[in-house]
């Protein structure tokens, strides 16, 4: 009986540890505001069933943007500066404000010839432990109709 109780306690602790260390799911919302095609909204889902994601913030790494003007941008990060708390099982919405770089909304989809960005979330679990999710990569599919972002790598 004592052995069964100890096994159950260890299993519970392992389960809690696993739940505390789960990374959020990052997905892109393909329905965007036509006037801001590069606001690039993301949904970040807290996969934990018990622990909050505190001070959650989305970082967008501009790995490579090839445009008509300016010709090329790379190695630049945009911080959402949201610092929100996402409850267990809930989602938060963040933006990669690429429209701050590509200013002319009317010509944005035509001006971006190639693009690759990486996104990740920084947050805290247990109010103390800083965490960083694995990066998710997105590629600009310039030949799409209309041109759009795709999760992962695509050949243009």
Q: Which domains does the chain have, with CATH numbers?
A: 2-151 (2.60.40.10)
The whole-number pLDDT of residue 90 equals: 92
Counting residues of the chain whose pLDDT is more than 90, the rounded percentage is 13
Q: Which has more confidence, 13 or 93?
A: 93
Going through 38-144 in order, the beta strands assigned E by DSSP cover 41-45, 53-67, 72-73, 76-79, 84-86, 91-95, 112-125, 129-132, 136-141
Average pLDDT, the chain: 76
Over residues 15-40, the mean pLDDT reads 66
Residue 125's φ and ψ, nearest 5 degrees, are -115, 145
For residues 112 and 144, the answer to whether their CB atoms sit within 8 Å is no
For the cut 50, the answer to whether the pLDDT of residue 106 exceeds it is no
Q: Which has more confidence, 18 or 57?
A: 57
Paired sense of beta strands 76-79 and 25-28, if any: unpaired
pTM above 0.85, yes or no: no
Tokens of 87: 């409850």
- Count the residues in the chain: 156
Q: How confident is the model at residue 68 (pLDDT cuts 50, 70, 90)?
A: confident
Lowest model confidence (mean pLDDT) among 23-37, 78-92, 110-124: 23-37
Q: How confident is the model at residue 48 (pLDDT cuts 50, 70, 90)?
A: confident
């Amino acid at each position: 009986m004592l052995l069964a109780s100890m096994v159950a306690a260890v299993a519970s602790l392992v389960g809690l540890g696993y739940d505390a260390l789960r990374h959020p799911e990052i997905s892109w919302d393909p329905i965007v505001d036509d006037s801001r095609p590069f606001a690039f909204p993301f949904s970040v889902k807290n996969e934990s069933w018990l622990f909050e994601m505190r001070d959650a913030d989305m970082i967008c790494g501009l790995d490579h943007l090839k445009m008509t003007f300016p010709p090329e941008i790379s190695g630049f990060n945009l911080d959402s500066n949201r610092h929100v708390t996402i409850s267990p099982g809930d989602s938060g919405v963040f933006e990669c404000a690429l429209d701050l770089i590509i200013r002319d909304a009317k010509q944005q989809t035509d001006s971006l010839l190639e693009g690759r960005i990486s996104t990740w979330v920084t947050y805290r679990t247990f109010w103390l432990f800083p965490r960083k999710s694995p990066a998710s990569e997105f590629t600009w599919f310039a030949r799409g109709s209309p041109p759009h972002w795709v999760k992962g790598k695509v050949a243009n």
